[in-house]
């Protein structure tokens, strides 16, 4: 048998395309079978799906078989003209495809089921001598991915694979031949949601404990979402305990169609209409062993995004890159697996449509990208559980992904303000003095944080009695000024003190909430406090223990938010103080390309026992489970929206926490890397994200910190944080010029908080991104596909930061259309071009997209003080004189305000020189907000009269076509209109 190794250039549309015809060319005259009817699963009258009784023989191969539903759901067959002699004659004359390794696939039958095709391909080797190892380099799939072995021809041959030495760092030397044995699809039945099939393997692959029989479940869950699941039907396997939607009926008009290859098994997912192949798993063998699962697919283009957490450009390069997924404590570094695991990608197709794929698997994993273009998934446990999202636009893909993993929670309003922290304040008084200095200079700040130096001996739920004795007074002062306090907690609990002297450990030991080693005793590692045990957050008893300790600590220090760090979990000892076992969980047959070379490097033994499963299965979920426990505890303690920032993350984390991008460095390149980071985490459904402004480690410079504060003012989550032993980098630590520039950037952020807060409402309710790449709004503009030095807030604000030293200008790309300078209203008409912008040290370029209404507010030094100030509405007219915007408003902290109806929602429209504000939903909070001013950009002719609700008012008009009016004093709770003539 040979694989349908179909190249990208042939596979833009399989059925009826050149690729489909070429696949037929070796099979003229062969028997073609049609499965007349698929039996219902479990029917006593069902015939074996491949039995000869249900097959019809054709004497001649048609150029194409199509099927359309008949009346009452019966299927009617339409056969294309069999007299198409030119096509058949061309097929007869086609030479062997041995050197092109396109594979030997033919569509031998099809059944239409609500627009979904089921196809079986009969296969036969091409004529002429086989040249199975003459495979193009880009299409070689690695047969010997082990990195601790020097692959030789003998080792490769022992696996039945091809060995051809190639360039260093390029394609694999040992790769699968087209006839490598795989699974065959032996039965396939219809179900209420799609299909249920059985795959069997008769020849074992080269990893131990092959699963020789698999169950294939394909559910057409929605028109936009397809669910493909491969499991062992005879032995239960670990599955990720993530709450996912349960489909109750099959999609009626899906955007996708399906083809199945019988032997070897493969699946093709195509976009209906365009026929673009989104998935094609026929290109390499499926392997499903106990601790090695692998599946490959072709990609429709080279434009691939997501797959985190890694430090890379936003657009992946398909140059034989391996990305590993294993939560790890390491400063962000290129090519390393970092703090979280997000096996989700978004792919752009050549026509600008987009789709996404999510592998719901929490085991150690790696993804290989190669220039075919193709992608290979490898994981060492669990099952293969895929979701495919059809979009078709990029924003819809992310929304559909979040319909599976859950939409992010709504943050408290104060969480969007400016946060300040450092490791190394030294004392609560020094921390307090920093806050006072910020107030003295009237620099906005909402929250003050402390790192682990507030603790006694770095132990959770303690306070250093000598240096942080005034911490309660500091927190009281913050609350008095409308500010908030956030403290750090590490999950590792000190275990070395005298029994009875440290209640968190004593109670945890008594309740049995710690992760155990294989002997059933608490696994002991080493973190900041010394010897430590690790809470098992997969155990609900641990959540209660966490709540009780937080509640008791909150009675002493009334904190407002939690910063959960070191939760990969991090361990200074590899595995434990006693090492790890020599068993298969700590030393699996295959080790993905993880930093350190072992799964227990700088974390706990993967053989460790947790309530739900082994740490081997749950490691990547540790940060998610701690975040869930922390958010729940904050709700119980404060009765308000929780604010949690976590280092380690997994899909659905946005429901419980935000994320910061880890221990970066005070370097210009780190400032750049933060942009791909925040764009990726918006793809991952965690929009509350940012990097440590000015850098965590190392010493910043005034220029770098000024530029970074300007960029950080546009992070969804904005915190300046640095390490101990370095000079201070809060705004008051710099010269008056730098301090003023930083203040102005923060004032711009605070003015835009109503707009930003509304974007978070969109994320919470619909799954929108907050910070997004330009191609989300301009998917037809290929110039935007690789841009990651600029980004958008929502669809309307374009941020173009300076990312280099010693410059006073920056070049940014402006997609086709009209753009307005946010500060002045001056217009920029672009045909889709790069534009050089002035960027002195006190300025960050921000532009408004035409057709937008941006709600802003007079800024103050805290979000609480700003929230009561009047609004100023900024209108950026389109070239047709139109604009639209909205505002979501509530009390900023109560739980589930949208779900309970305790909010206001106002829509703004501009058409035919009339601005209207329409209140669609109202609550008491909006009664106290007024609209003081309206500024309109892009009015080409000076108005003669401006009226508000029919009454003339004074106005001003500038030469750059900006109309302004102030002193309106309009209640936001009431609809109004403003007209200019």
- From 676, 739, 179, select the one nearest 441 (Cα to Cα): 739
Nearest to 429 by CA among 448, 405, 404: 448
For residue 97, pLDDT beyond 50: no
Q: Does residue 43 surpass a pLDDT of 70?
A: no
In a domain, 812, yes or no: yes
632 alpha carbon, distance to own chain's centre: 23
On whether residue 793 sits in a domain, the answer given is: yes
Asked whether the predicted pLDDT for residue 62 surpasses 50, the reply is no
814: in domain: yes
Residues 651 and 502 in one domain: yes
pLDDT at 3: 31
Q: Residues 899, 835: one domain?
A: yes
Q: Please determine, for residue 658, whether its predicted confidence score (pLDDT) is greater than 60.
A: yes
685-734 pLDDT, tens digit per residue, is 999 999 999 999 999 999 999 999 999 999 999 999 999 999 999 999 99
Residues written for the chain: 981
Which of helix, strand or coil describes residue 916? strand
Predicted local distance difference test score (pLDDT) of residue 71 = 25
Instruction: Looking at the structure, tell me whether residues 210 and 358 fall in a common domain.
Output: yes
Give yes or no for residue 106 having a pLDDT over 60: no
Decide if 681 is inside a domain.
no
Distance CA 55, CA 33 (A): 6
Q: Are residues 170 and 188 in the same domain?
A: no
- pLDDT at residue 426 tops 90: yes
Closest CA to 534 of 559, 569, 506: 569
More confident residue, 55 or 354: 354
Pair type for strands 871-876 and 930-937:
parallel
- Does the pLDDT of residue 616 top 70, yes or no? yes
The answer to whether the beta carbons of residues 872 and 844 sit under 8 Å apart is: no
Q: Would you say 549 and 493 are in contact if contact means Cβ atoms under 8 Å apart?
A: no
Instruction: Convert the pLDDT of each residue in 244-286 to its tens digit.
Output: 999 999 999 999 999 999 999 999 999 999 999 999 999 999 9
Residue with tokens 């790696």: 366
**Does the bond joining 373 to the residue before it have cis omega, within 30 degrees of 0?**
yes
Q: Which residue has the higher pLDDT, 866 or 109?
A: 866
Contact 795, 815 (CB under 8 A): no
Task: Decide if pLDDT at 7 tops 90.
Answer: no
Among 377, 405, 433, residue at a domain's last position: 405
Q: Are residues 395 and 524 in the same domain?
A: no
> Nearest CA to 380 among 462, 255, 286, 294?
294
Q: Please name the residue that has the structure tokens 């426990």.
A: 629
| Residue 916 to residue 931: CA distance in whole angstroms | 12
- Coil, helix or strand for 708? helix
pLDDT classification of 294: cutoffs 50, 70, 90: very high
Same domain, 844 and 867: yes
Position 981 scores a pLDDT of: 96
pLDDT more than 70, % of the chain: 87
In angstroms, the CA 284 to CA 287 distance is 9
Query: Quick check: is 887 in a domain?
Result: yes
Regarding whether 872 and 970 lie in a shared domain, the answer is yes
Question: Does residue 504 fall inside a structural domain?
Answer: yes
Distance CA 942, CA 67 (A): 63
pLDDT at 377 over 90: yes
Cβ neighbors of 647 (< 8 A, separation 6 or more) are 339, 340, 564, 565, 566, 567, 568, 623, 659, 660, 662
* CATH for 577: 3.20.20.80
Find the domain containing 148 and state its range.
134-175
Tell me the average pLDDT across 437-446: 98
* 525/512 Cα distance (integer angstroms): 17
- The pLDDT value given to residue 351: 87
Among 175, 202, 231, the domain-final residue is 175
Domain assignment of residue 219, yes or no: yes
d(CA 848, CA 783): 19
Shared domain for 243 and 147, answered yes or no, is no
For residue 871, the domain's CATH number is: 2.60.40.1180
Q: Are residues 163 and 189 in the same domain?
A: no
Q: Which CATH number covers residue 254?
A: 2.60.40.1760
Q: Chain-wide mean pLDDT for the chain?
A: 88
Average pLDDT for 106-111: 31
- Mean pLDDT throughout 810-820? 98
Same domain, 780 and 900: yes
Of 388, 405, 422, the residue at which a domain comes to its end is: 405
Residues 248, 391 within the same domain: yes
Does the pLDDT at position 72 exceed 80?
no
User: What band does 117 get if pLDDT is binned at 50, 70 and 90?
Assistant: very low
pLDDT band at 925 (very low <50, low <70, confident <90, very high): confident
CA distance 653 to 498: 36
Enzyme catalytic residues: 565, 568
How many domains, in total, are found in the chain?
A: 4
Amino acid 112: pLDDT: 31
What secondary structure letter does DSSP report for 317? P
Q: What is the CATH number of the domain that holds 170?
A: 4.10.110.10
- pLDDT tier for residue 27 given thresholds of 50, 70 and 90: very low
- Reported as half-sphere exposure (CB side, CA atoms, 13 A), residue 408 has a value of 33
Residue 314 lies in a domain: yes
Nearest C-alpha neighbor of 644 from the set 761, 511, 486: 486
Between 144 and 118, the more confident residue is 144
Shared-domain flag, residues 234 and 350: yes
The whole-number pLDDT of residue 131 equals 74
């Amino acid at each position: 048998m040979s694989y349908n190794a179909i190249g990208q250039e042939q596979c833009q549309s399989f059925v009826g395309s050149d690729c489909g015809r070429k696949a037929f060319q070796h099979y003229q005259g062969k028997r073609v079978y049609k499965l007349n009817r698929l039996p219902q699963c479990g029917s006593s009258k069902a015939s074996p799906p491949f039995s000869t009784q249900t097959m019809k023989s054709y004497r001649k191969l048609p150029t194409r078989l199509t099927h359309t539903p008949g009346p009452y759901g019966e299927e009617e067959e339409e056969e294309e003209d069999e007299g198409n002699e030119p096509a058949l004659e061309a097929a007869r004359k086609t030479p062997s495809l041995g050197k092109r390794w396109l594979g030997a696939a033919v569509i031998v039958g099809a059944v239409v089921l609500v627009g979904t095709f089921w196809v079986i391909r009969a296969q036969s080797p091409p004529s002429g001598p086989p040249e199975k190892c003459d495979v193009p380099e880009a299409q070689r799939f690695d047969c010997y991915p082990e990195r601790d072995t020097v692959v030789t021809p003998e080792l490769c041959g022992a696996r039945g694979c091809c060995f051809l030495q190639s360039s260093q760092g390029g394609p694999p030397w040992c790769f699968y031949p087209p006839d490598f044995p795989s699974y065959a699809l032996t039965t396939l039945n219809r179900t209420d949601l799609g299909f249920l099939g059985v795959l069997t393997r008769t020849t074992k692959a080269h990893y131990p404990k092959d699963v020789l029989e698999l169950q294939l479940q394909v559910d057409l869950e929605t028109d936009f979402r397809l669910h493909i699941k491969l499991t062992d039907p005879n032995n239960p396997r670990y599955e990720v305990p993530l709450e996912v939607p349960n489909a109750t009926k099959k999609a009626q008009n899906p955007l996708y169609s399906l083809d199945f290859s019988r032997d070897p098994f493969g699946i093709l997912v195509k976009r209906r209409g365009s026929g673009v192949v989104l998935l094609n798993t026929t290109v390499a063998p499926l392997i499903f062993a106990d601790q090695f699962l692998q599946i490959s697919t072709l990609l429709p283009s080279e434009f691939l995004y997501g797959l985190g957490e890694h430090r890379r450009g936003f657009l992946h390069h398909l140059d034989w890159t391996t990305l590993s997924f294993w939560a790890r404590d390491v400063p962000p570094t290129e090519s390393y697996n970092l703090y979280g695991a997000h096996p989700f990608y978004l792919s752009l197709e050549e026509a600008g449509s987009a789709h996404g794929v999510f592998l719901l698997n929490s085991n150690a994993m790696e993804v290989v990208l190669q220039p075919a273009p193709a992608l290979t998934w490898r994981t060492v446990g669990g099952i293969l559980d895929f979701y495919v999202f059809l979009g078709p636009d990029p924003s819809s893909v992310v929304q559909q992904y979040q319909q599976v993993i859950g939409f992010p929670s709504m943050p408290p309003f104060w969480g969007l303000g400016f946060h300040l922290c450092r490791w190394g304040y030294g004392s609560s008084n020094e921390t307090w003095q920093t806050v006072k200095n910020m107030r003295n200079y009237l620099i906005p700040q909402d929250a003050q944080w402390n790192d682990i130096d507030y603790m006694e001996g770095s132990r959770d739920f303690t306070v250093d009695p000598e240096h942080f004795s005034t911490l309660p007074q500091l927190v009281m002062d913050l609350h008095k000024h409308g500010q908030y306090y956030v403290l750090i907690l590490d999950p590792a609990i000190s275990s070395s003190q005298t029994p009875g002297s440290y209640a968190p450990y004593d109670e945890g030991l008594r309740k049995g909430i710690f992760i155990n080693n294989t002997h059933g005793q608490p696994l002991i590692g080493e973190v900041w406090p010394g010897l430590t045990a690790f809470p098992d957050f997969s155990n609900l008893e641990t959540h209660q223990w966490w709540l009780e300790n937080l509640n008791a600590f909150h009675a002493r220090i009334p904190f407002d938010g939690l910063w959960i760090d070191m939760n990969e979990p991090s361990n200074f000892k590899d595995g434990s103080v006693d090492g790890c076992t020599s068993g298969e969980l700590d030393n699996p047959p295959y080790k993905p390309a993880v930093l350190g070379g072992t799964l227990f490097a700088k974390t706990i033994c993967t053989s460790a026992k947790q309530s739900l499963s082994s740490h081997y299965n749950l490691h990547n979920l540790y940060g998610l489970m701690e975040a869930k426990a922390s958010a729940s505890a904050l709700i119980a303690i404060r009765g308000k929206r929780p604010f949690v920032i976590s280092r380690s993350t997994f899909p659905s984390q946005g429901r419980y926490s935000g994320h910061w991008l880890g221990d970066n460095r005070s370097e210009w390149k780190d400032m750049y890397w933060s942009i791909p980071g925040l764009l990726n985490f918006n793809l991952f459904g965690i929009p509350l994200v940012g990097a440590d402004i000015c850098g965590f480690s190392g010493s910043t410079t005034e220029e770098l910190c000024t530029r970074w504060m300007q960029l950080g003012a546009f992070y969804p989550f904005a915190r300046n944080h640095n390490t101990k032993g370095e000079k201070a980098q809060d705004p008051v630590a710099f010269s008056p010029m730098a301090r003023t520039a930083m203040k102005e950037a923060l004032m711009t952020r605070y003015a835009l908080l109503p707009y930003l807060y509304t974007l978070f409402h969109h994320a919470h309710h619909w799954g929108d991104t907050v910070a997004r790449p330009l191609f989300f709004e301009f998917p037809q503009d290929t110039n935007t596909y690789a841009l990651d030095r600029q980004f958008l807030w929502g669809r309307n604000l374009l941020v173009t930061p300076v990312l280099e030293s010693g410059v006073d200008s920056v070049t940014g790309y402006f997609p086709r259309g009209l753009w307005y300078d946010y500060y002045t209203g001056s217009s920029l008409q672009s045909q889709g071009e790069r534009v050089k912008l002035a960027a002195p040290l006190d300025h960050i370029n921000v532009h408004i997209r035409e057709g937008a209404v941006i709600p802003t507010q007079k800024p103050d030094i805290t979000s609480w003080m700003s929230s009561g100030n009047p609004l100023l509405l900024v209108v950026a007219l389109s070239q047709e004189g139109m604009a639209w915007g909205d505002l979501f408003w509530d009390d900023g902290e109560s739980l589930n305000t949208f779900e309970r109806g305790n909010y206001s929602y106002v829509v703004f429209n501009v058409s035919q020189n009339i601005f209207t504000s329409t209140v669609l939903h109202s609550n008491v909070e909006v009664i106290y907000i007024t609209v003081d001013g309206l500024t309109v950009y892009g009015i080409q002719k000076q108005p003669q009269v401006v009226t508000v609700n029919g009454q003339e008012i004074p106005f001003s008009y500038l030469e750059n076509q900006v109309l302004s009016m102030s002193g309106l004093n309009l209640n936001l709770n009431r609809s109004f209109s403003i007209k200019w003539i």
